[in-house]
A = this chain, B = another copy of it.
Amino acid sequence: MSPALTSETIEMYLKSICELETIESPVAISQLAQRQSVSSPAVIEMVKRLAAKELVTHTPYKGVALTVTGKKRAHNVLRRHRLWERFLVDVLNLPWENVHDCACRLEHATAPAVTESLAALLQHPVRCPHGNPIPDADGNLPDDEKLPLAALEIGQSATLVSVGYEETILLDYLSRRGFFPGVTLTVEDIAPYQGPLMVLIEGREQPCALGREIAGRVFVTMDSGEG
C-alpha cells in the first residue's frame, strides 16, 4: 500500500511550517518541535516523510521550507480553519477565544464541497475572527500591510488588525483585556530592558500592560496621519 496522501498530523505540520515561515525561513526543527509539542527526533522523522512527498525541502542543520505544493496544501488547511472559525463565531455564537481549538479539529475533517458551501454561506469572508486573512479557493493568500504592536513608539496610535500565532492561552488573555481586531490602541509607555508596553484601548480608562512577547504577536496598522 502506498502511504496516504495526507493525514491530520501531516496537515498540522504543514500549517505550522507555513505560519512559522512568516517569521523565519527556513524554519528551524526546534521551532516546529515546540509548536507541535513533540520532540525534535519526531520532527526530523516527519520532515523526512514530508520531503519524500515533496511537500517540503529540508536543508540538514539549516531548516525546512515548504515547496509550492506544500504551501498550497497548507493554505488549504488555513482556509478550512479560518472559515470554520468564522462559522463558529458568526453562526454558532461561540466565544472568540475558544473557536481556534474547535476549528483546529474540524479543519482536518472537511470535504471540499463542505468548505466551499461554508464559504458561500458566510458570504466569502476575508478574515478569521482573529483578523488573519482567509486564503481563496485556489490557495492564494494576500499578505497584508501590518506591523507588530511592539514596533510602535510611545504616543503612537494604531488599529488592531490581527493576532498572529493563534493559541488559546494568548487569545484568552487578550479577550479578557478587550484586545480584538478593530479596536484603537495607543502606546502610553514602554518600559526599558524588554519590559512591558502600557497600552490604552480607546474608550477605556486604564491602560493595560502587555509584555514584549505578546506585543510581538499582536499586529496593527498605523492610524492615518501617523505613519
A residues lining the B interface (CB < 8 Å): 88, 91-94, 98, 101-102, 105-106, 108-111, 113-114, 117-118, 121
Pair A102/B91 contact, Cβ less than 8 Å: no
Pair A111/B101 contact, Cβ less than 8 Å: yes
**Which residue of the partner chain B has the closest CB to A91?**
B121
- Min CB distance A107 to B, Å, is 8
> Could you say which of B92, B94, B105, B114 contacts A102, with CB atoms under 8 Å apart?
B114
Residue from A91, A93, A109, A118 whose CB has the most chain B CB atoms within 10 Å:
A109
A105 CA to B113 CA, complexed, in Å: 13
Hey, which chain B residues are within 8 Å of A118, CB to CB? Answer: 92
Pair A111/B117 contact, Cβ less than 8 Å: no
Interface residues of A, dominant DSSP: helix
- Min CB distance A8 to B, Å, is 9
Pair B117/A93 contact, Cβ less than 8 Å: yes
State the copy count for this chain.
2
A88 CA to B110 CA, complexed, in Å: 12
Pair A109/B109 contact, Cβ less than 8 Å: yes
25 A-B contacts (beta carbon < 8 Å)? A88-B114, A88-B117, A91-B121, A92-B114, A92-B117, A92-B118, A92-B121, A93-B117, A94-B113, A94-B114, A94-B117, A98-B113, A101-B111, A102-B111, A102-B113, A102-B114, A105-B109, A105-B110, A105-B111, A106-B106, A106-B109, A106-B110, A106-B114, A108-B109, A109-B109
Hey, which chain B residues are within 8 Å of A101, CB to CB? Answer: 111
Hey, which chain B residues are within 8 Å of A105, CB to CB? Answer: 109-111
Hey, which chain B residues are within 8 Å of A108, CB to CB? Answer: 109
